[in-house]
Amino acid sequence: MSENVAIIGIGHSKFGTRKDVNLPELAWEAIKPALDSANVEQKDIDFYVVGNAGMWSSEAAVPSLMAEYADLAPKGSMRVEAACASGNAAIRVGYTAIKSGGADIVLVLGIEKMQESPNPTIIELIGRFGSYFWEFENFGLTFPGYYAMYGTAYMAKYGATEEDYAKVAVKNHYYGAKNPYAQFRKEIDIDTVLKSPYIAWPFKLFDCSPITDGAAAVILASEEFAKDVEDKIWILSQGVGTGTANLSRRDDFTTLPSASYAAEQAYKKAGIDLDAPWKYLDGANVHDCFTAPEIIAYEDCRFCKRGEGVELIREEQTYIGGRIPVNIDGGLKAKGHPIGATGVSQAVEAYKQLLSQAEKGRQADIKNGRWLTHNVGGTGHFTYVTIYGLEKR
């Protein structure tokens, strides 16, 4: 595996409640601008990968639908599912296809039409990403409850408060309001979060990411094909970790070991110092499905020491101008979380930030030319940490 891999084009739909389009039309909203920005046509695509959980949607065979609607037949394709990390898992498949020499140009699409099912059904289906018979069936846990265990454990161990968690939501809505593709484009304050109804203590409504329809796409290319492309970024490294689905087998609810492992692998492969990796990065997108997991991600990704993640949000060190800007596209919390599209959307954000193409008020200062994405399926069941850069290694 020797080929370097670049992102040479991106596309992104508006996230939110998308009853105005069917699934193929939503996919085309991301695919068309990705093809255009990469200056390629459907005939140039060697292989395409779709990240899609899809249990709540009327359509299951999404790659076949796209072959028809987007004129991609008879190219080879694959549908990838890794819970909420499906998008980055799809990028992993496209990346390895090029690295192995099996393709020169790969389209990666992440897509979800979650709101085709009623909310109770969606919540049940997401809950099945846990250990079904032990946790979901016997104890009725859904994902707010799963992650509430982490939120309360972090509070008990490190002294975090509900107000600290609310500060994550305030930050992400602040930047989401500046992102034209975000589901929620309205700033909020601490009181709005604290006065919202409880979902699973300590999480209230505004501590939780929404149910979202949306699509995002990237065009991956081999080094040979990408050499003459002006606007491109490189996949410098990717770490992948897997965790147990059964919470009773975990001994620490203030970390996701699969995320720590994936981050360590990604840093080592990219030649980044494990002691202070934030010094090598211009920013990051982490998996803030709830507010507490964003703070835990600061620590799993080594942006600070254990127990210091809460200090980063208190001191606004994850805003632009701080130690490391995090989720300045709004994150899952405000941009939205269409499960299969989230990891690809993070890659789109890395591309825009590194090439200084982000919207006014949410463009980071690019000095190091590296951006990190952290995409988690379940409570660490699957974790992908990817580092993107302006210069290949």
> pLDDT tens-digit profile of 135-164?
766 667 788 999 999 999 999 999 999 999
* Global model pTM greater than 0.95: yes
Residue 155 lies in a domain: no
Residue 27 lies in a domain: yes
Residue 87 lies in a domain: yes
Interatomic CA distance for residues 24 and 351, integer angstroms: 24
Residue 248 lies in a domain: no
Q: At how many degrees (to 10) do helices 162-176 and 291-300 cross?
A: 90
Cα 232 to Cα 7, 8, 270: the distances in Å are 6, 5, 18
> pLDDT tens-digit profile of 56-81?
888 888 999 999 999 999 999 999 99
Assigned token pair, 203:
């999480």
Residue 94 lies in a domain: yes
Query: Domain range for residue 85?
Result: 5-118+212-226
**Catalytic entry in 84, 208, 301, 304:** 84
Interatomic CA distance for residues 174 and 221, integer angstroms: 34
Q: What is the mean pLDDT of residues 116-132?
A: 82
Task: Indicate the number of domains in the chain.
Answer: 1
Query: Is 84 part of the annotated catalytic residue set?
Result: yes
**Catalytic entry in 12, 173, 287, 337:** 337
Q: What is the mean pLDDT of residues 230-243?
A: 97
Q: At how many degrees (to 10) do helices 143-158 and 119-127 cross?
A: 60
Residue 61 lies in a domain: yes
CATH number, residue 49 = 3.40.47.10
Query: Is 337 part of the annotated catalytic residue set?
Result: yes
Residue 31 lies in a domain: yes
Residue 56 lies in a domain: yes
The amino acid at 377: G
Nearest to 9 by CA among 39, 29, 43: 39
Nearest to 342 by CA among 60, 25, 14, 84: 84
pLDDT at 1: 47
